[in-house]
Chain A
Amino acid sequence: MTFYRADLHIHTALSPCAGEEMTPPRIVAAALMAGLQLIAVTDHNSAGNIAAVQEAARGTGLIVFAGLEVQTREDVHLVCLFNSAAEALEWQSIVYQRLPAEENREEYFGCQLLLDAAGREIGREKRLLLTSVDMGLEEVVREVSGRGGVCIPAHVDRPSYGLLGHLGLIPEGLPFAAMELGLLYPDEALKQFPTLAGWPLTIASDAHYLKDIGRRVTIFDFVEEINLKSLHQSLRRQQFKVVVGQRDNFR
């Protein structure tokens, strides 16, 4: 039995809405400082910086899961986690095919930096990432699960871009691994949204700035080695606990 402090929803400077300070080495340093052992890199509709963060974390003990925060046709945000950066990149190629062929306008949305493990800019993603893919929620969940990935609807309790805000109810029969809370803690969320009953309820920081990393933490009890399978198992068996991160003390 091993406990891991995890923050499974973190953006890098590739997300136009995230700070340019969100470089791989600084994310790793901030995560370690916040006492985290496990994070997931989840940029909007892109997997471009995952490998760089994983490389930056090498030797530090911090484990970095590969993820994307996909925006479905219904404008619902979905954290999609994969077993490796390579698998996340494969999924990214599907996502890119289904994104509108529009270019990012940095003056409106912010810049989308591709970085190396040292935090140096190696390019800028030109396509507009801050928009919806032309795929319905069901299709995304089935595709990601079919590829061995795991889907967790992001900040379901937030009025915008959340599953409950946009779709009112949780669609039946979809293999979500958990529901991520963005504002509330589980007891409050269950009171406000009874439809969440029975779901594993996790929390994460959805960090767009360094100060937010580890602000909201889920502690997982992993029985086996640390991978998506154990994560799924831990979620299913309710072997996790949500806590206020140490970083909340700074506020």
Chain B
Amino acid sequence: MRLREIVERLHLQVLAGEKALDREVTGGYCSDLISDFMANGTPGCLWLTLQTHMNVVAVALLTGAAGVVFTGGRGIPPEVCRKAEAEGLPLLQTPHSTFEMAGRLYQLLNEK
């Protein structure tokens, strides 16, 4: 499924990387430990996290993630958005919890 469709159906707010929304999403991964995502994230997956540190951008790019969804409606530092925009990495935000987002994303990706 294309990221754009996920953004629309889950009502995600796009913070950066608008131009890259046509990429294909292959799955999802939830983790607030950046090193854990570095080890277990897969190319094309969507990363759900509370963590808003700049290293999220670096590691998402490193892993080839389709994008990052910041859950829980935390404030995202503007420099994080700027960096992601410059690198063409989609950053998305939702006020919902990781649990809820993951459930809805899972359902969406497994629709028949």
Contacts and interface: CB of A to CB of B under 8 A. Distances in A.
Interface residues of B, number: 14
B35 A171 contact: no
B53 interface: yes
Interface residues of A, number: 11
Interface string B58-98: 11000000000000000001000000000000000000000
Interface in B16-36: 32-35
A123 interface: no
A167 B55 contact: yes
Nearest to B79: A138
B41 to A, nearest CB: 10
Contacts of A197: none
A168 B55 contact: yes
A136 interface: yes
B14 interface: no
A171 B54 contact: yes
A168 B35 CA distance: 4
A165 interface: yes
A98 to B, nearest CB: 14
Given A136-B77, A169-B59, A164 B53 contact: no
A168 B54 contact: no
B102 interface: no
A216 to B, nearest CB: 23
Nearest to A164: B35
B105 interface: no
A63 B60 CA distance: 45
Nearest to B35: A168
Contact of B51 (A74, A138, A164, A171): A74
A166 interface: yes
A168 B32 CA distance: 11
A41 interface: no
Interface in A52-97: 74
14 contacts: A74-B51, A164-B35, A165-B33, A165-B35, A166-B33, A166-B35, A166-B51, A167-B34, A167-B35, A168-B55, A168-B59, A169-B55, A169-B58, A169-B59
Given A169-B58, A171-B54, 4 more contacts: A74-B53, A164-B35, A168-B35, A168-B58
